[in-house]
Amino acid sequence: MRAAYLITPYQFELRDIPIPKPGKGEVLVRVTAAGVCGSDLHFYSAGRIGEVVLDQPFVMGHEFSGVVEDAGEFSAEFPKGARVAAEPSIPCGTCFYCRENRPNLCLNLTFVGFPPKGGGYAEYIALPKENLHRLPDCIPDSQGPLVETLAVAIHTAELMGDTRGKSVAILGAGPVGLLTFLHLRHCGASVVYMTEPVESRREFARSLGVPMVLQPDDLQAIAEQERFLDGVGPEYVVEAAGEPASYAQAMQIVRRGGTVVYCGIYPHGAMSIDFTPARRKELRMIFVRRSLPRNYSEAICLAASGEVNLAPFCRTIYPLDQIANAFQDACERVSGLVKAILHPVGPEQDTRNR
């Protein structure tokens, strides 16, 4: 089978390798769609995320879906051809945090598409059956990878608590920021504005119904929004950009006694942030790490019911041998690209109704 290895930053190589043999408790999946995530771009451009350094050729890809090829003893639950979305986190199930029902904080977590476990930029992958969630036919292959992103948005909203009627600003109109917007709106929150530096993304955000999309450096326009908020800032500010500047800006924008939520992935290394506003404003701060297993079923329900429409997010599709272009386009945030989707088995198939 073909698999796309990142050799060094900015360089991929397609290699022919044996199809993986599923181990105990695993199911073999043929990958039909795999998304390019902001965290993959960190590896691509810097060769690292936080302390995790890419020191050998590696297959990324943690947002993907596919069809069951061989489920062995689990064939009743996962018949051949069943369409599934994959969850990339493999928690140990026995550590303190797993027992506390917080498997995203597992002490022995394996993450698919994150060294050492290769991911979905390949034609086949073997995964524990617990990591597979059946996809209904109303969700096409190209939208499968967005289930992971939507799960992160759901987990973010869950950590924020009851936001009904609460004012929210979101910094960053990438897929996580926008899916968080759609989900919070569904939860009854009032997302008053988003900020985004890239013009085509601002336009896309408007097309999804974001009432006001501002440039992050237009401080005057941001301050003017307080007119609609009793003369103070929003009750919640969600940082979904992963930019050091917006980490600080979130604290400046939010109202006193408000909550800042950090769900963007922050680049490696120390940065100096002045926490004085956080103390003086007596802020609550929430940090988000990925999602929980139950968020996947919720994400599939939301997408299937049409409450959150994933279709506009995945209109740009590349065959696997175009992976270098997909990453370059994603890095450059080319106009019209929201989420780059790779189709390892070729661009034309859609495996529904098989």
Minimal distance, residue 17 CB to Zn ion, in Å: 24
Minimal distance, residue 100 CB to Zn ion, in Å: 9
CA nearest to 168, candidates 147, 153, 149 = 153
By beta-carbon proximity to Zn ion, the closer residue of 40 and 70 is: 40
Whole-number Å distance between alpha carbons of 144 and 133: 10
By beta-carbon proximity to Zn ion, the closer residue of 109 and 222 is: 109
By beta-carbon proximity to Zn ion, the closer residue of 84 and 106 is: 106
SS3 187: helix
Whole-number Å distance between alpha carbons of 195 and 241: 9
By beta-carbon proximity to Zn ion, the closer residue of 202 and 290 is: 290
Angle among Cα 300, 149, 351 to the nearest 5 degrees reads 55
Minimal distance, residue 88 CB to Zn ion, in Å: 8
By beta-carbon proximity to Zn ion, the closer residue of 94 and 305 is: 94
Whole-number Å distance between alpha carbons of 276 and 251: 9
Minimal distance, residue 105 CB to Zn ion, in Å: 8
By beta-carbon proximity to Zn ion, the closer residue of 91 and 118 is: 91
Using CB under 5 A, list all residues that contact Zn ion.
37, 39, 91-92, 95, 98, 106
**Which of left, alpha, beta for 122 (phi over 0: left; psi -120 to 50: alpha)?**
beta
Minimal distance, residue 201 CB to Zn ion, in Å: 17
Whole-number Å distance between alpha carbons of 53 and 31: 26
CA nearest to 67, candidates 124, 21, 130 = 124
Minimal distance, residue 250 CB to Zn ion, in Å: 21
CB neighbour list of residue 252: distance below 8 Å, 6 or more residues apart: 277
